[in-house]
């Protein structure tokens, strides 16, 4: 078996991310870049977080290739939301965020979630001006994901292992996910959650509040 | 709610894809670009296909950001395989394929699978010289995927709905997936499969053989 390594080419968008950062700091809003592969449950976790995180004033930027399903779901929760359609691009970049910041009442918020395009690769490479990155992995995706998609695990401050209610029906080794993820990023905070049963959501929300307060 | 559309920038790699195409034609090998989001089960489907598709001489190119787990799994099946590590890039492009073609016994094969990086977005945008694209969707990813990631459904000739064994434990509307996918691509051939129970695999393999024969 032969293994070939191809060098990657990355666009820099650091300057605009820093400009976003300046605007977030001015408004006193904490910003989380929420990432996962497709269908891992980011929007469901946001819905639960919006309904259960009493005391937090949360806004959301939704990123999708096409459609506004996710923004409509967030709007139902009563939160201010803007939908970005990337028109094909597989991740949000700092400039896309910069263009929509005027549409949100940043001064009234203490937390802004930026829900990235469902993609376990590119979103981890592009800073948008966030304080931290948080990732979601559906346990139905299998236990080989940390070692195959290392960057997102390395870049994230917290990992939500979602759809834990499916564990009895999957051949998935949760301990291997934990072990491999922590080998890539020993500081990673890991939550086992289910939006169906509610498992782990209170712990996630407590951590979220603590993280915002102690920044 | 505001919706903003950002224009995408695509690199062209058509010329190299055509060069690959010429080499495939010369060797008489049929080429399938196999795509999905992370953890949908592409490698498991290849394992089953390799063991059940009697009479086909199949080779595999594995594409991953990092690691060679998938190529090792394919090698266990006795098929010629090359692993490409993209070093961060979220899709295979024609040049990556061109660089490894010398490592495979193309003349001895009648079918080459190119297993793309697990990503529901970018792989659909980059031709690698394939005859057709085939995509896998794990039903655990949810029924909103066709409308949120339309290009891959439009570009594919066949869609394998995998992990059908999980259907009783998911709130997933399989008919909606079928309806939306067919609205995007009326010619799409859809198979409901499970690598755990074997459901649908004979139909998939029969279709594969017919497709190769009638090209």
Give the pLDDT score at B11.
Answer: 42
Q: Give residue A3's pLDDT band: very low, low, confident or very high (50, 70, 90).
A: low
Chain B CA closest to residue A95: B6
Give the pLDDT score at A117.
Answer: 96
Query: Which DSSP state fits B184?
Result: H
Q: Are strands B189-192 and B2-5 parallel, antiparallel or unpaired?
A: unpaired
Query: Which chain A residues have a beta carbon less than 8 Å from that of B144?
Result: 39, 69
Task: Please check whether residue B51 is in contact with residue B63, taking contact to mean a CB–CB distance below 8 angstroms.
Answer: no
Spans in chain B with pLDDT lower than 70: 1-12
Picking from B6, B149, B196, the nearest residue to A96 by CB comes out as B6
What CATH number matches the domain at B2-213, 2.40.40.20, 3.40.50.300, 3.90.25.10, 3.40.1020.10?
A: 3.40.50.300
Q: What is the pLDDT of residues B161-179, one digit of tens each?
A: 999 999 999 999 999 999 9
Task: Please check whether residue A116 is in contact with residue A94, taking contact to mean a CB–CB distance below 8 angstroms.
Answer: no
Q: Give residue A9's pLDDT band: very low, low, confident or very high (50, 70, 90).
A: very low
Q: What is the pTM of this model?
A: 0.89
Q: Do A140 and B142 touch (CB under 8 A)?
A: no
On whether ipTM exceeds 0.95, the answer is no
Q: What is the pLDDT of residues A64-84, one digit of tens each?
A: 998 999 999 999 999 999 999
Give the pLDDT score at B10.
Answer: 41
pLDDT of residue A7 exceeding 50: no
Task: Please check whether residue B92 is in contact with residue B99, taking contact to mean a CB–CB distance below 8 angstroms.
Answer: no
Q: Count the residues in chain A.
A: 215
Residue in the structure block whose two tokens are 């209170």: A202
Give the pLDDT score at A14.
Answer: 83
Q: What is the pLDDT of residues A125-162, one digit of tens each?
A: 899 999 999 999 999 999 999 999 999 999 999 999 99
SS3 B23: helix
Return the higher-pLDDT residue of A89 and A197.
A197
Q: Do A38 and B39 touch (CB under 8 A)?
A: no
Q: What is the pLDDT of residues A142-152, one digit of tens each?
A: 999 999 999 99
Q: Do B3 and A163 touch (CB under 8 A)?
A: no
């Amino acid at each position: 078996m032969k293994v070939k390594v191809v060098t990657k080419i990355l666009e820099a968008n650091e300057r605009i991310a820093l400009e976003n950062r300046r605007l977030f700091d001015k408004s006193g809003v904490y910003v989380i870049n929420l990432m996962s592969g497709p269908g891992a449950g980011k929007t469901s976790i946001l819905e639960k977080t919006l309904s259960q995180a009493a005391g937090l004033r949360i806004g959301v930027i939704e990123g999708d290739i096409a459609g506004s399903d996710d923004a409509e779901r967030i709007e139902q929760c009563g939160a201010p939301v803007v939908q970005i359609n990337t028109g094909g691009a597989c991740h949000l970049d700092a400039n896309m965020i910069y263009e929509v910041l005027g549409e949100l009442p940043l001064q009234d918020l203490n937390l802004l979630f930026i829900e990235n395009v469902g993609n376990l690769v590119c979103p981890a490479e592009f800073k948008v001006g966030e304080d931290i990155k948080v990732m979601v992995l559906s346990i139905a995706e299998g236990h080989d994901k940390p070692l195959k998609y290392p960057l997102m695990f390395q870049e994230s401050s917290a990992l939500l292992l979602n759809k834990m209610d499916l564990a009895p029906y999957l051949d998935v080794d949760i301990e291997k996910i934990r072990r491999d993820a922590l080998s890539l990023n020993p500081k990673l905070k890991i939550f086992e959650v289910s939006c169906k049963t509610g498992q782990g959501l209170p712990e996630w929300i407590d951590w979220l509040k603590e993280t915002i307060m102690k920044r």
